[in-house]
Amino acid sequence: MRTDPLAYLGMELDALRSQELHRSLRVLEDRQQATSTFDHKSVVNLSSNNYLGLTTHPMLVERAIQAIREFGVGSGSVRTIAGTMEIHMELERRLAAFKKTEAVVVFQSGFAANAGTVSAILTKEDAIISDELNHASIIDGARLSRATIKVFPHKNVDAARKILQELPAAQRKLLITDGVFSMDGDLGSVPGLCALAEEFGCIMMVDDAHASGVFGKNGRGTIDHFDMHGRVDIQVGTLSKAMGALGGYVAGSAALIDFLYHRARPFLFSTSHPPSVAATCLAAIDVLEKEPEIIERLWDNTRFFKKGLETLGFNTGLSESPITPVIAGEGSRAMKLSDRLFEEGVFAQGIAFPTVARDKARVRTIVTAAHTRDELQFALDKFKKVGSELGLI
Ligand SMILES: Cc1ncc(COP(=O)(O)O)c(C=O)c1O
């Protein structure tokens, strides 16, 4: 009889179970919104990236339905063969105007945008200098490029400078940071790194996935927030979080975008978005431009909830965004906190090693513009109860 060549995977899973780190997927049974039903339980939802509540916005839903009626449900091809529809081009033009850059290319996801871009523009002769907490898609793109990878300690511009000083002056270099870090909610050292990129002649790239729709005027991101227009060569944004739909994009020069049309592998080798996704994203840009008060509501809720957690005495790290971690220490403790909160009616996902450092396991909370004060107060009351129970406050 054939022995199972994948038996080792079962052992790995057993190891996770023994460390109390094995998770089942939580299943959403209704809509992605401020209070949702997961696993048959109605909970205040602090786990989505639906910052502006746009996943269920009536105008976005209507535009998606209209696009399906008019253009069908799929694009039927990759962009470089028959899968570029006029609505894809319209979205790219609209995003370029919104981001104030010459051009934009839209990818199937933010992950594909980062990994596809970094791997396309670098070769094994080049170097990438990357913040240690940059997103997995940047790390994968760097590995695929086969460039030399140099990692600097989180937000440490001086350490990045030392790395640059040691690299050959003639070598091509990409300096890269997240605009907002997804697990800690703090901002990247965008101004300091831009200055460094100019000093050393690096390509400067910022992944603004969690800043899109959240930071800057009308949600234009950290480049706008820090007034760094014209100083970042490659801006990545996502359409999957605050924009409520799906996708990622790269904003930059016309030459960069044309090059990515020719060389970015997810663009060349994976089917483009259904037209309804592009229509939804166009509607989301309308919301950002015409209803900026929705972003203000997100920030009001953020300030209220963060202050509440801090007043209760939780360790919320150094967050500067609507992402607020509640740091619990050991992985099993964070999972216990998450599980008990869920029993009490609050969904805040536990996050442990390898996503964060072993001793910095946490539950991550993200408030949205759609949460009411009552929902947030309910969540704070439950954090107080469970946090005391587990000795965290
Ligand atoms: C910092 C960062 N970059 C990129 C991505 C990928 O974005 P998307 O979900 O659109 O693939 C994420 C999402 O998890 C992220 O947190």
Q: How close is the Cα of 114 to the center of ligand 1, in Å?
A: 9
Phi-psi domain of 138 (left: phi exceeds 0; alpha: psi -120 through 50; beta: other): alpha
Are residues 268 and 340 in contact, defined by beta-carbon separation less than 8 angstroms?
no
- Distance, in Å, from the CA atom of 70 to the CA atom of 282, rounded to the nearest integer, reads 16
Q: Residue 277 has what pLDDT? A: 98
> Is pLDDT at 280 greater than 90 in this prediction?
yes
Give the confidence band of 105 by pLDDT, cuts at 50, 70, 90. Answer: very high
Q: Residue 357 has what pLDDT? A: 87
Give the confidence band of 1 by pLDDT, cuts at 50, 70, 90. Answer: confident
Shortest-distance atom of ligand 1 to CA 181:
1
Write out pLDDT tens, residues 172-190.
999 999 999 999 999 999 9
Q: How far is CA 307 from the centre of its chain?
A: 23
Residue 248 in contact with ligand 1 by CB distance below 6 A: yes
Write out pLDDT tens, residues 359-372.
999 999 999 999 99
> Is pLDDT at 375 greater than 90 in this prediction?
yes
Q: Residue 20 has what pLDDT? A: 78
Phi then psi dihedrals of residue 261, to 5 deg: -55, -30
**What is the per-residue burial (b if ≥16 Cβ within 10 Å, else e) of 309-344?**
beebebebbebbbbbbbbbbebbebbbbbbebbbeb
Shortest-distance atom of ligand 1 to CA 180:
1
Residue 49 in contact with ligand 1 by CB distance below 6 A: no
H or E element, residue 175: strand 173-178
> To test the ligand 1 pocket, which listed residue (176, 180, 240) has its Cβ within 8 A of the most ligand atoms?
240
Q: How close is the Cα of 135 to the center of ligand 1, in Å?
A: 7
Write out pLDDT tens, residues 282-291.
999 999 999 9
Per-residue pLDDT, averaged over 6-27, amounts to 91
Mean pLDDT computed over every residue of the chain: 97
Per-residue pLDDT, averaged over 1-19, amounts to 93
Residue 107 in contact with ligand 1 by CB distance below 6 A: no
> Is pLDDT at 23 greater than 90 in this prediction?
no
Q: Residue 184 has what pLDDT? A: 95
Closest CA to 193 of 131, 140, 139: 131
- Distance, in Å, from the CA atom of 89 to the CA atom of 84, rounded to the nearest integer, reads 7
Q: How close is the Cα of 83 to the center of ligand 1, in Å?
A: 24
Catalytic residue status for 241 = yes
**In whole angstroms, how far apart are CA 74 and each of 82, 156, 245, 276, 331?**
12, 44, 15, 8, 41
Residue 114 in contact with ligand 1 by CB distance below 6 A: yes
Q: How close is the Cα of 204 to the center of ligand 1, in Å?
A: 19
Catalytic residue status for 99 = no
Write out pLDDT tens, residues 328-360.
999 999 999 999 999 999 999 999 988 888 899
Q: Residue 354 has what pLDDT? A: 84
Q: How close is the Cα of 133 to the center of ligand 1, in Å?
A: 13
Catalytic residue selected from 210, 336, 360, 371? 210
Q: How close is the Cα of 209 to the center of ligand 1, in Å?
A: 5
Phi-psi domain of 372 (left: phi exceeds 0; alpha: psi -120 through 50; beta: other): beta
Per-residue pLDDT, averaged over 33-37, amounts to 98
Residue 108 in contact with ligand 1 by CB distance below 6 A: no
Catalytic residue status for 319 = no
Q: Report the nearest-CA residue for atom 10 of ligand 1.
A: 110
Q: Residue 355 has what pLDDT? A: 87
Residue 179 in contact with ligand 1 by CB distance below 6 A: no
Per-residue pLDDT, averaged over 247-261, amounts to 98
Please give the share of the chain, as a percent, with pLDDT higher than 90.
95
Per-residue pLDDT, averaged over 82-109, amounts to 98
**In whole angstroms, how far apart are CA 4 and each of 10, 14, 347?**
10, 16, 37
Catalytic residue selected from 173, 225, 241, 360? 241
